[in-house]
Structure formats: C-alpha cells, structure tokens
C-alpha cells in the first residue's frame, strides 16, 4: 500500500512499471485527491489502453499467417521492397519467415516507425525470425529491366535464397512469377506481420546503404533523402551531374547525362 507520504514524482516513477489498472498500487492511489496523482493515473490508463490496442493490432496482423499455418503450411514468407521511387540507389527486397512465437508487437509498416524504432526492430527481427533473406537490384539493372520488373526479380531472388523453403508467400502489392502459392496484398505491411517485418528489414538495409553512398558521393544529401528527388538532391544534380548510382532512365536524371 501507499499513501500521501509518496511524492508525486515517486508515484509517477512507480507507475512506469505498472501494466494493470487494478494493481494494489493503483487501487491505493485512487483515493489520493492530489491533482498530480489523478493525472498520473489518467496517463497510466491511456498507456495501458494504447498498449492493448497495439497488442490487438499485432494479433490481427497475424491473421494471414495463422490461417496458412492452420491449413498445414509450415513456412510462410512475407516479402516487401523499398526503393522503387528514388532517383538513385538500388531497390532492396526482403523475405522474412516467422513462426507463432514471434512476439515483437511494435512490428508494423516501416513508414509508421521512426528511424530509431526501425533500427532497434531490425536487429530483433533478425534474431527472432525463423529466417531472413535480402536481395538487391542496383541502378544498372533497374535501367535495364525497368523498376517494376527489377523489383519482381529481387523479390524472387530473396525467396529463392531462403534455406527454409516456403510453401506460401504473402507479397506486398507485387505478384511474382514463381511456382509458390502467393497472396498479394495492397498495403500488405499493414496487414501481415511477416510482410511488415520484411518492410523494416528492407528499409533499414537500404537506408544504411544510402548513408554509405552519401560518404562516397557527397553533395546529394543521400544520407537524408535516401536517393529520392528532394530539393537538395536536385541541386546536387545541377551542380555535380550524375553519379554511378543514379538511375539514368529516371526523369529528371536523364537530362544531366
């Protein structure tokens, strides 16, 4: 039990470890009339509610995988890509297989996460997934094949490189010419946990690659724009021309050759 001898600061610290709104500590604080205590309880209630929503959404993103597992499929791979739109750099794809022990509830569409969240989750996904495989198609292949086909080829390569051969694929938006049953989902990274994990892995891998390219080819702001056509990137093209990683057939890169 607690009483008014605890300061509001101490109470806030104690509540940081609470995961239930019916614990003995919380029950005792309900009768504390101090405004700061009641505000702390409201903050705790909101945090618990937000976490419950996050857990519920996480389980919902397992619906497709769970359905396939229940039908007898052992390995389901989620596939996603990043880098179809930039003017420079490769397209990166990832294939991720998880099982029902996978419990990273923060895994969702990589675009909804901060850079630090993605980096933290990337390492955890690598450790917790059954398997992860990455495939990259550089700017030269993108110019040769076109970005859509290059993306398909990279996705197929990511799948074929898996040691645990999947019997089912969940693919974000891009159907694949591969002899494996597949479910193609629009915004699949918001609907499937394995696709969401793949989106984070591909995004982190490509971001780190573009930060390296920023050191090799300064003046284009690759570390911040990741090769997309921002004002600083376009200014770099005007000042310095194209680099070996630019997609030559993409507008407006073509006019700087």
User: Structural domains in the chain?
Assistant: 8-60 (no CATH), 63-208 (3.30.420.10), 213-256 (no CATH)
106 annotated as a binding-site residue = no
Which tokens belong to 129? 């997934």
pTM, full prediction: 0.83
191-232 pLDDT, tens per residue?
A: 999 999 999 999 999 999 999 999 999 999 999 999 999 999
Sequence-distant (6+) residues with CB within 8 A of 63 are: 191
CB 170 within 8 A of CB 64: yes
What's the pLDDT score for residue 1?
A: 44
> What is the Cα–Cα distance from 12 to 25, expressed in whole angstroms?
11
Two tokens, residue 254 = 């073509």
Q: Which residue do the tokens 């390569």 mark?
A: 157
- Of 225, 224, 166, the C-alpha closest to 198 is 166
**91: its two tokens:** 């397209």
Closest CA to 91 of 218, 244, 247, 248: 247
Q: In this structure, what are the phi and psi dihedrals at residue 94, rounded to the nearest 5 degrees?
A: -135, 145
Is 81 annotated to bind a ligand? Reply is: yes
The residues with which 79 forms a beta bridge, in sequence order, are 95, 171
How would residue 104 be classed by pLDDT, with cut points 50, 70 and 90? very high
171 pLDDT higher than 60 = yes
Residue 172 known to bind ligand? yes
Contact in structure between 120 and 201 (CB atoms under 8 Å): no
């Amino acid at each position: 039990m607690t009483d008014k001898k605890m300061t509001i600061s101490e109470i806030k610290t104690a509540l940081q470890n609470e995961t239930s709104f019916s614990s003995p500590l919380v029950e005792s604080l309900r009768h504390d009339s101090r405004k700061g205590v009641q505000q702390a309880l409201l903050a705790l209630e909101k945090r618990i509610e937000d976490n419950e929503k996050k857990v519920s959404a996480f389980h919902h993103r397992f619906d497709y995988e769970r359905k396939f597992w229940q039908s007898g499929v052992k390995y389901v791979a989620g596939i996603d890509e990043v880098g179809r739109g930039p003017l420079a750099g490769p397209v990166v794809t990832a294939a991720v297989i998880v099982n029902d022990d996978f419990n990273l509830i923060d895994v969702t569409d990589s675009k909804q996460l901060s850079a630090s969240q993605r980096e933290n989750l990337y390492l955890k996904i690598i450790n917790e997934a059954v398997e992860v495989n990455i495939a990259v198609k550089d700017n030269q292949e993108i110019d040769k094949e076109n970005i859509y086909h290059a993306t398909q080829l990279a996705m197929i390569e990511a799948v074929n490189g898996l040691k645990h051969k999947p019997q089912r694929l969940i693919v974000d938006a891009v159907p694949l010419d591969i002899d494996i049953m597949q479910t193609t989902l629009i915004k699949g990274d918001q609907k499937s946990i394995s696709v969401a994990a793949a989106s984070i892995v591909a995004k982190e891998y490509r971001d780190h690659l573009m930060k390296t390219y920023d050191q090799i080819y300064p003046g284009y702001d690759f570390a911040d724009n990741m090769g997309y056509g921002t004002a600083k990137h376009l200014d770099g093209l005007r000042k310095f021309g194209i680099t070996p990683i630019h997609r030559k057939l993409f507008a407006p890169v073509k006019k700087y050759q």
